[in-house]
Amino acid sequence: MDVPGLDLRGKAALVTGGASGIGAAAVRRLAAAGAVVAVADRDEAAARALAAEVGGLALPGDVSDSDTMTMAVDVAEDAFGRLNIVLLNAGISGGQSGLEDLDLAAYRQIVGVNVDHVVFGLTAAVPALRRAGGGNIVATASLAGLVGMPGDALYTLTKHAVVGYVRSAGPTLAAEGIIVNAVCPGFADTPLIAGVKAQFAGFPLLTADDVAGAIASILERGQPGECWYVQPGREPGPYGFRGVPGPKGSPAPPDVAWQEH
């Protein structure tokens, strides 16, 4: 598969949740553009199969564990001699309303995978990207990180957390040449919705390749802290956030960009 415009020869990447769905499509897209890719996934057999397919490295493990994420970054950097791109893609759905009769174990699990793994992954990756002279971190969020999704409050909570984290981390790390972004796809035909796919009959769904293409666009021209929406039939692009009104008549405090006057 040729990837026009995206040249990653000489680059090394790590993709979490990389053995299926959006992650697998992204692994193939990065490898086709010339990158060597580490496939991190709890499904060891699938991770090894895809790594063998693209000539990469399989890293099985639980991404919600901080030691696992640190080890994944260290092993990938040691194996490839560098690390330039980190795609923090692993994610799960809520499986409950999150409004009553809370299943605490399931709640801890979704927060661990969808939020903790992004924080652990970014903090582990930053030193490696510094050693490489800069690079890219892309976290997979969701449209549920930009708007509320009735029926899955916990998933919405976790994806809003990812969006907020990226928007804050992006400007902070940009001066070091580390570009942090989020990709926020709508409903995609991936294993994440396999159990409820019948509910989407007649509804346009993204493919995993659509989202991988958006990730490629982010790597080409994404700006620090941008969160890119992806919807069927639309060109992906950065979501335009509206600023929060500041105190009436007051001057803007230094280094605070989120206020309007």
Return the ∠ at Cα 26 (arms to 140 and 211), rounded to 5°: 55
- Which residues on adjacent β-strands are paired with residue 238? 228
The rounded distance, in Å, linking the Cα atoms of 79 and 227 is: 30
Integer Cα distance of 218 and 30 in angstroms:
12
For residue 147 the two structure tokens come to 């708007």
Give 198's contacts (C-beta < 8 A, 6+ positions apart).
none
Q: How many CB atoms are located within 10 Å of the residue 6 CB?
A: 18
Is 155 part of the annotated catalytic residue set? Answer: yes
Phi (first) and psi of residue 160, to 5 degrees: -60, -40
User: How far, in Å, CA of 177 to CA of 166, rounded?
Assistant: 15
Helices 153-174 & 104-111, crossing angle to 10 degrees?
30
Contacts of 105 by beta carbon, 8 Å cutoff, 6+ apart = none
Q: Which residues, in sequence order, are bridge partners of residue 41? A: 60
Q: Which of 107, 155, 165, 229 is catalytic?
A: 155
Q: Which residues 6+ apart lie within 8 Å of 56 measured at CB?
A: 27, 31, 36, 37, 38, 39, 50
Rounded CA separation 48/57 (Å): 7
CB 205 within 8 A of CB 187: yes
Q: Which residues are catalytic?
A: 155
